[in-house]
Chain A
């Protein structure tokens, strides 16, 4: 589904990603873990298509297509979803109007007729229950005045409506209390299908108690330094990131 090969990227001329290679197959959940500043969010930004990140080498192939050549909105319509670490507030644009426009752009892309207002509101209602989001939030402007937890739930809510093939959740767990964490994780688990995949980017292991990954990657200093099964997350939790740092330094010396 997604093949990243030797990806290199820079922000303002400073190299952040030095060499990233990952392959994600349908049905898989990948966790990318790493200390602050290791390049996790930059990787998410490259996949979603943020302009301020400059790709300096390597390839990203999504369903056989060169992802890096696609505009952000086309990536979305092809089934990629980014759950933001810091969801943006958009005053004056209502959640309903925002999501209705997004859904209908997706439908247009698939050659489907746009949804009527009532059909769309029905979907909104169904999905609201899934993520236990307050009905009132849907009538407000996008993320405006939402608490940290509400913003993150709103990301999962949008994801549930757009039904992506590949979701990248960038530190969706940061700043969440245990209840919100459970709701977010439940949402992700309920949306899991054999033909879709999820990349969970996180600093902490605790989200992975709820979302069980198939593969765990450790990102450090712009490189994937270790890839293993779900037990790697627990090992990291026990030994801390210093363990990784020491290992990397030892390897570089030898």
Chain B
């Protein structure tokens, strides 16, 4: 038996052993998807490098490991969640926490914000907002056949639910902080559902943190619905330790004339794989997908972006950048799929990477499939060193080589960071990136764990 079968069998066994407990704790509606999902998982398994979409990322070592499973929340953990406070100054948000994938229900299960916006536990929402959930849950995967999405559907028991009613504008962003903590190596999954109805305007910040130095494997799925003329901004800041593997799948479905901006900043993590799917499902929709990662030691960061142009006159833009130091490796795969009827499509993609050492490695793959004829598409990818000419130009004005290098790298990173619209967060990212580049942060920033030399 090869490794694929072995690791897949492991998770099938985990399903068999735990599904009864998971189901007892879950809303019947969430349970109604589980059997089909595990059947699909059996067919697909854990992705390996034989899957084209995972060609540059080897997850075997992360999946072939004995983890404690966190499928049922331990209520005593919820008090730990209360101890956490985000230290980004001047960040004015409605904050909520997911602890090992679960919404801490000790202070209520759903919270109402101005404009009748609901935020809280997905599991609870599946019980009390039946029709809303039924309309959207599992509807935006578009036949996705990633074994990890099936695995999530089969076993995830909670996550964040956000409902922004039509016409509602929320000026303050909502911040979801994902905390992962355990005294044993741990596997956890969660599932988010974000509904932004017609003409609404909503900003979401998601931060990933690990709070204990154990080995972690997190597999998260987020589905987002963005209605007609609605605006949705999502920023994700990933800051986990080097012994953590984070796999995120984000499906964003857009209706007519909606606008979406997604910004993914990976500051730290052992293995990070972000799958971002943009589905432009109505005329005049626009999506911007940005990403930045800084990796060193043996970290691996892989961004997979898929943009579906289904209707005419939609716009999309992808800008992903990476800085790789020491033995770090990275990958970018950007797919643009322009369907037959999507005339007037405008789609751009750019991926630029800087390798600071000979050992760092980056794989980048643009993938354009265009079936309409009136289309404006462009893509460009670079992997290289810092520009020697720019370096000399700066030195020739009196700037030291070290300072010039920093300014160049910072400038490179800032091209992505400047798209973060929440000012306090943008400033914080700038300063974290600068500190990281100066070597002042040798491991995850804002980390409360003294995890030694990981």
A interface list, Cβ under 8 A from B: 48-51, 71-73, 75-77, 81-82, 84, 87-93, 97-99, 101-102, 105-106, 109, 141-142, 158, 162
Contact = CB atoms under 8 A, between A and B. Distances in A.
Nearest to A73: B395
A141 B411 contact: yes
Nearest to B415: A92
A251 to B, nearest CB: 36
A76 B403 contact: no
Contacts of B393: 84, 87-88, 90, 142
Given A75-B396, A88-B390, A93-B408, 7 more contacts: A72-B392, A72-B395, A73-B396, A76-B397, A90-B387, A98-B397, A102-B398
B411 A106 contact: no
16 contacts: A48-B396, A49-B396, A72-B392, A76-B395, A88-B389, A88-B390, A89-B390, A90-B393, A90-B394, A91-B412, A92-B410, A98-B394, A101-B403, A105-B399, A105-B400, A141-B411
A159 B414 CA distance: 27
Contacts of B410: 92-93
Given A88-B393, A92-B414, A97 B407 contact: yes
B438 interface: no
B401 interface: yes
Given A72-B392, A88-B387, A98-B407, A162 B398 contact: yes
A85 to B, nearest CB: 12
Contact of B407 (A71, A82, A101): A101
Interface of B: 387, 389-390, 392-401, 403, 407-408, 410-415
Given A73-B400, A98-B407, A101-B407, A91 B395 contact: no
Contacts of B401: 71, 73
Given A88-B389, A105-B400, A71 B395 contact: yes
Contacts of B389: 88
A93 B407 contact: yes
B411 A90 contact: yes
A50 B400 CA distance: 14
A25 to B, nearest CB: 23
Contact of B398 (A50, A73, A87, A91): A73
B412 A158 contact: no
Contacts of A109: 398
A50 B415 CA distance: 28
A107 to B, nearest CB: 10
B399 A102 contact: yes
Nearest to B416: A92
Among A50, A71, A102, A158, the most chain B Cβ lie within 10 Å of the Cβ of A102
Contacts of B408: 90, 92-93
A93 B410 CA distance: 8
B248 to A, nearest CB: 26
Nearest to A97: B407
A15 to B, nearest CB: 22
A153 B370 CA distance: 43
Nearest to B410: A92
Contact of A72 (B387, B396, B403, B415): B396
Contacts of B403: 101, 105
B411 A92 contact: yes
Nearest to A93: B411
B150 to A, nearest CB: 40
Contacts of A73: 395-401
A71 B404 CA distance: 13
Contacts of B399: 73, 98, 101-102, 105
Contacts of A48: 396
Contact of A106 (B390, B394, B398, B415): B398
Nearest to B407: A93
A142 B90 CA distance: 31
